Amino acid sequence: MKFLVTGGAGFIGGNFMHYMVNTYPEDEFVNLDKLTYAGNLETCKPIEDKPNYKFVKGDIADRDFIFQLFEKEHFDVVVNFAAESHVDRSIEDPEIFVKTNVMGTTTLLDACVKYGIKRYHQVSTDEVYGDLPLDRPDLFFTEETPIHTSSPYSSAKASADLFVLAYHRTYGLPVTISRCSNNYGPYHFPEKLIPLIISRALNDETIPVYGTGENVRDWLHVYDHCTAIDLIIRKGRDGEVYNVGGHNERTNLQVVKTVLHALNKPESLITFVADRKGHDLRYAMDPTKLETELGWKPKYTFDTGIPQTIQWYLDNKEWWENIISGEYQNYFQKMYVDK
Ligand code: NAD
Ligand code: TDX
């Protein structure tokens, strides 16, 4: 089978490329990525010489380019990771989120309708469900929870999901959607909470915690997200949504303290800063459908995944030091210092 994987130079797409290229040597993988600030070909270095892997630079929202690529390559499966992924950036500048996350998705869907595919898989997020109250630990997001978004990022991701489902109903396109909780693991861009804590703590820099730090996220190691997507592509039912999560809920403050303790760094590095606008309170996934229908089981818990991730950042300093030494400095200054 021939796969088109978009956003494969990013965090989750990159991990997925590593996993798939190595697990399925008989399949072919084309990695299409625009190489935005979040795309990094260093992430693809370990697989770049594999015979079943190829990189193509391009924009999923560029219709002419996408149609030419489909005409030439005859894909069997499309897995769409490409997106603007950072909530804070979507609050500062929503437009590119509409262009890439919504119009990029509809462009890919149109190409799939025209050229035909066996499976289109959309990588979505728990954020499409909005948030849960902090005082109701008995509540979880299921696939039936209504879409109820908070940020420009989640609104764009939810719009894309609705188009994916509409193309299934209207044109009979064989689609699946996975909605996953917060990921962490190797190759995670240091603007996101966990790699931000690790990289800043290693440099003895302050850790900005939004608001009270009591907001709850449900954390999953990226490896387990990749195995879930692989299963859904191969065994999931057409037109279905699958929630992905491992029941690893932590407050942001718990996450920061866990990482600081593991690195032997003082809690005095914690600095409370202004809250994110519209900050979602709690995410918590119910992955029962994925577990019972497809037999998915995560390999990592938070307690085993965090030490593995910290070790990766210690062993791969060059990867993240290159990132935080460039344009990222201007971003950090704007977000946390100039405000
Ligand atoms: P990321 O920002 O690390 O990577 C996104 C990648 O997409 C980058 O390589 C970037 O260059 C590429 N890209 C951006 N715009 C593009 C365009 N127009 N055309 C082609 N490529 C483009 O993001 P991530 O954290 O790896 O997230 C990947 C996907 O998973 C996203 O769709 C995101 O919504 C979803 N998701 C993320 C999480 C999480 O915790 N990070 C959780 C659930 C779902
Ligand atoms: O410096 C920070 N301080 C802080 O307190 C940052 C960057 C974040 N936070 C808080 C905000 C959130 O409550 O930590 C939590 C996690 O923040 P992010 O890492 O920005 O992730 P989140 O907003 O939860 O979204 C992530 O998970 C769902 C991904 O970025 C999305 O792409 C995915 O869909």
111 in any annotated domain: yes
41 in any annotated domain: yes
266 in any annotated domain: no
| pLDDT exceeds cutoff 80 at 335 | no
Closest-CA residue, ligand 2 atom 16, reads: 193
Report the number of secondary-structure helices (H) and strands (E) in the chain: 13, 12
Atom of ligand 2 nearest to the CA of 87: 23
DSSP letter string over 244-309?
E--S-EEEHHHHHHHHHHHTT--GGGEEEEPPPTT---B--B--HHHHHHH----S--HHHHHHHH
Taking CB atoms and a 6 Å cutoff, what residues make up the pocket around ligand 1? 6-7, 9-13, 33-36, 38-39, 59-61, 81-85, 100, 104, 123, 125, 157, 180, 182-183, 189
ipTM comes to: 0.99
Closest-CA residue, ligand 2 atom 17, reads: 193
289 in any annotated domain: yes
| pLDDT exceeds cutoff 80 at 68 | yes
Torsion sign over Cα 31, 36, 42, 43: negative
Residue 97, pLDDT score: 98
143 in any annotated domain: yes
Split at pLDDT 50, 70, 90, the class of 339 is: low
Closest-CA residue, ligand 2 atom 11, reads: 210
309 in any annotated domain: no
State how many domains the chain has. Answer: 1
Q: What is the CATH classification number for the domain harbouring 165?
A: 3.40.50.720
Q: Cα–Cα distance between 173 and 171 in angstroms, integer?
A: 5
- pLDDT, one tens digit per residue, over 161-209 is 999 999 999 999 999 999 999 999 999 999 999 999 999 999 999 999 9
Please state the pTM of the whole predicted model: 0.97
Split at pLDDT 50, 70, 90, the class of 328 is: confident
**Which of 28, 126, 230, 249 is an active site residue?**
126
CB–CB of 155/311 below 8 Å?
no
| pLDDT exceeds cutoff 90 at 36 | yes
Domain interval for residue 86: 2-187+219-247+279-302
Residue 332, pLDDT score: 75
14 in any annotated domain: yes
Residue 334, pLDDT score: 76
Output phi, psi for 86, to 5 deg: -105, 120
319 in any annotated domain: no
